Amino acid sequence: DGGDNNVRSRAVDAVSLTVGSGTYLGISAAQTAIYTESSLNIAGGNTFAYTLSDYSKAVTVKGTISQTGGLLMSGLSE
C-alpha cells in the first residue's frame, strides 16, 4: 500500500501529472485530492481521487486533461 493515511488539504499538488499503464493511484484528501497547474494525463492504470469536503473538487486541473486509456474516478467520499 505505501500510504501514510494522513488526510491533507491537497494530496497531490504538482505542475503536471501522468498516470501510466499498470499504475494504481488511490487518493483522498480533506479538500482537493489531485491539483495540477499544467496538465493531467491518464494513459492507463486506475486512478481514484476523493475529497472529504462538500465545497471542494476531487480533481482540479488548471490546464489540460487528456485520457488515452485507463480509468479515472473522482467524487465525494463520506
For 11-69, write each residue's pLDDT tens digit: 899 999 999 999 999 999 989 999 999 999 999 999 999 999 888 899 999 999 999 99
Contacts of 61 (CB under 8 A, 6+ apart): 34, 35, 36, 39, 40
18-22 contact pairs (CB < 8 A, 24+) = 18/43, 19/43, 19/44, 19/45, 19/47, 19/70, 20/44, 20/45, 21/45, 21/69, 21/70
pLDDT given at position 9: 80
Measured in whole angstroms, the distance separating CA 33 from the mean position of its chain's CA atoms is 5
Supply the pLDDT for residue 42. Answer: 97
Query: Is the predicted pLDDT of residue 7 greater than 60, yes or no?
Result: no
Quote the CA–CA distance of 25 and 43 in Å, as a whole number. Answer: 13
